[in-house]
Amino acid sequence: FIKIISILILSLGLLSDKNLLPNPKIRLVLQILVLFTFIYFENLGINSLSFEFLDNLLKYNFFNIALTVFCFATLLNGSNFLDGLNGLLSGYYILILLSLLYISSNFSNVEILDLEFAKLLLLSLGIFYIFNIFGFVYLGDGGSYLISFLVGFILIKANQHNMFISPYYVAVMLWYPAFENLFSLVRRIYKKSNVSYADKLHLHQLIFRYLKTNKIFSSKLINPITALIILLFNLPSIIIATILFSHTISLIFLLLINLMIYLLVYYFLSKNFKFKK
């Protein structure tokens, strides 16, 4: 069943890549329909959010499915935002898969049902990353949708079947593309700009423009170096979350720290530097 859904997810991205499905609203509706079908029949969901009120809501099947669909849709579209930098998206998901494989290899009480699939995905991404970092191949909408869907599935299923894996381990692993999407949506609604059209004010784009404007690196290196900077920013939290994968309170604080740093860096770049159009 996951093969069929993966093909559908990939097809939506390819249609977008070929400009055969240019309307983002229609694309989102189709994503939600595909994701709802998959989550409902796969019986995929969120066990707990570690807060009694939210956990009581999760007991209602409709609310649980709706929240899971929302998380997947946010992740897919947020990941698509990050695909403009060579090595960023593939490198980010490589770090996540390495974290998951480390946990499964070093903690006997954790069983990852899709471990072999995760290893195969890691190998594929590793090969792709080498060519992507030099600009020979690209994920595109189809690739970014597919990779984020598969990694999100592996993580949520790992949490669903392992009481030792905190849901906030999953949140820390996936916070960056998800928050990039949510923050972009809130920012554009606040500024009353059309959310259906792409803009160039995402954090990675501001960092790229800052490096380019100040000519810190060669123009040919700015793209992969920007990706590397963002990966290095996420690396400490991924390492800490890997070590503390079952410590919910610590993971919540780690998640909040990531969000605050993101907002501070974004504010600093957007307010204190004038970029050329």
pLDDT in tens, 158-185: 888 888 899 999 999 999 999 999 999 8
Asked if residue 228 has pLDDT above 90, the reply is: yes
The continuous run of DSSP H or E covering 47 comes out as none
Residue type at position 8:
L
Q: pLDDT digit string (tens) for 81-98?
A: 888 889 999 999 999 999
DSSP secondary structure string, 101-146? HHHHHH-TT---TTHHHHHHHHHHHHHHHHHHHTTS---HHHHHHH
Beta strands in the chain (DSSP E): none
Q: What does the pLDDT read at residue 22?
A: 80
Share of the chain above pLDDT 90, in %: 56
- Residue 188: how many other CB atoms lie within 10 Å: 16
Q: Sign of dihedral through CA atoms 127, 133, 139, 145?
A: positive
Q: pLDDT digit string (tens) for 107-120?
A: 877 777 778 899 99
Q: What does the pLDDT read at residue 277?
A: 43
- Residue 86: how many other CB atoms lie within 10 Å: 23
Closest CA to 46 of 200, 193, 153, 205: 153
Asked if residue 154 has pLDDT above 80, the reply is: yes
First to last CA, the chain: 46
Residue type at position 12:
L
Residue tagged 């993966």 (tokens): 6
Q: pLDDT digit string (tens) for 237-258?
A: 999 999 999 999 999 999 999 9
Rounded to an integer, the average pLDDT of 45-65 is 89
The continuous run of DSSP H or E covering 165 comes out as none
Closest CA to 161 of 236, 205, 109: 109
Q: For residues 42 and 2, is the Cβ–Cβ distance under 8 A?
A: yes
pTM for this entry = 0.92
Which band of pLDDT confidence, cut at 50, 70 and 90, is reported for residue 212? confident
Q: What does the pLDDT read at residue 272?
A: 64
Which band of pLDDT confidence, cut at 50, 70 and 90, is reported for residue 274? low
User: How buried is residue 105: exposed, middle or buried, by Cβ count under 10 Å (0-12/13-18/19+)?
Assistant: exposed
pLDDT, averaged across the chain:
89
Asked if residue 21 has pLDDT above 90, the reply is: no
